[in-house]
Amino acid sequence: MKKIFMSILLGFMAAAPCMAVQTFEKDIIKTAKGDLEITFIGHGTLMFKFDNKIIHVDPWTKLADYSLLPKADIILVTHEHRDHLDLKALEILQTRDTETIVTQNCYDQVKNGIIMKNGDIKQVKGLNIEAVAAYNIVHMRSKGNPFHPKGDGNGYIITFGDKKIYIAGDTENIPEMKQLKDIHAAFLPMNLPYTMTPEMTADAALSFSPEILYPYHFGETDLSIIANLLKDNKNIDLRLRNMK
């Protein structure tokens, strides 16, 4: 009996790290067509559940065991970098009915991908999805090339009922953000040297005033900086979740 107990205990201890990885924060946003459930997987990786549909954004196997998560009705890939385009994650999540939205640079690598370019709008499984610009102006690779060149990547605006959710992708506070309207919740990246400083993120948010701001893809960035920058703004609900 003692040996059996120890075997069970050791098995539980071995499984515990995996179980912990699969514990994610969630939020619920009320819409005119039912609840939108947001799962914060980490980094630039999200999962949405709405109207019996599952939408995965930039799924990454480093952060989750996707065999334990729901299959995708829709997958959105913002750009080709490996922390956003993970072919293994796509293979696990895709079914015959999955619609996978990709950029031109991702298309050759993704089976059955649907290309969306900046400015494109598509109806996908009953959801309105708009691809918007995502790029660097200031932060460069060596030889002055942007980490994320203009036109290579997408942000996405998804309309869930009466709520528009903006997932910015890897971007800086670009001029195009000033044209965004009626955004209910925005996911804005905040890590260097790839996307934005807290000051740039605050500037981006103030340029289009989402009702809710979720900083994401923030790595080791000090979150108290963005909190302090927006502390006097009563129009933006800053929500800090585990999205390193």
81/232 Cα distance (integer angstroms): 36
What pLDDT was estimated at residue 188? Answer: 98
pLDDT bucket at 17, cuts 50 / 70 / 90: very low
Predicted local distance difference test score (pLDDT) of residue 6: 45
Asked whether 102 and 90 are in contact (CB, 8 A), the reply is no
- For residue 16, what pLDDT is reported? 44
What is the pLDDT, as a whole number, of residue 19? 40
Nearest 10 degrees: Cα torsion 118, 187, 113, 98: -140
Q: Specify the pLDDT at position 7.
A: 46
How high is the pLDDT of residue 80? Answer: 87
Q: Name residue 45's amino acid.
A: T
The yes-or-no verdict on residue 198 having pLDDT over 50 is yes
At 244 the pLDDT is: 86
- The pLDDT of residue 145 is 83
CB-based burial, 92-114: b 16+ in 10 Å, e otherwise: bbbeeebbbbbbebbeeebeebb
pLDDT at position 8 is 43
The yes-or-no verdict on residue 104 having pLDDT over 70 is: yes
Instruction: Classify residue 119 as left (phi > 0), alpha (psi -120 to 50) or beta.
Output: left
d(CA 39, CA 69): 11
Domain boundaries, the chain: 25-238
- Integer Cα distance of 3 and 65 in angstroms: 30
What CATH architecture applies to the domain 25-238?
4-Layer Sandwich (3.60)
Mean pLDDT of the chain: 90
In the three-class reduction of DSSP (H, G, I as helix; E, B as strand; rest coil), residue 173 is classed as coil
Q: What is the pTM of this model?
A: 0.89
Phi/psi at 105 (5° precision): -65, -20
Pick from 20-24, 37-41, 137-141 the range whose average pLDDT is largest.
Answer: 37-41
Torsion from C-alpha of 226, 159, 50, 202, nearest 10 degrees: 0
Asked if pLDDT for residue 2 goes beyond 70, the answer is: no
Element (H, E) at 47: strand 45-50
pLDDT in tens, 26-74: 999 999 999 999 999 999 999 999 999 999 999 999 999 999 999 999 9
pLDDT greater than 70 at residue 83: yes
Contact in structure between 21 and 45 (CB atoms under 8 Å): no
Residue carrying the six token digits 């942000």: 155
Those residues with Cβ within 8 angstroms of residue 169's Cβ, 6 or more apart along the chain or in another chain: 44, 78, 79, 84, 134, 153, 154, 155, 156, 189
Confidence grade of residue 10 (pLDDT, cut at 50, 70, 90): very low
Backbone torsions φ then ψ of 114, nearest 5 degrees: -110, 120
Poorest-pLDDT segment among 5-9, 142-146, 230-234 = 5-9
**Can you give the pLDDT at residue 111?**
76
Q: Which helix (H) or strand (E) holds 166?
A: strand 163-167
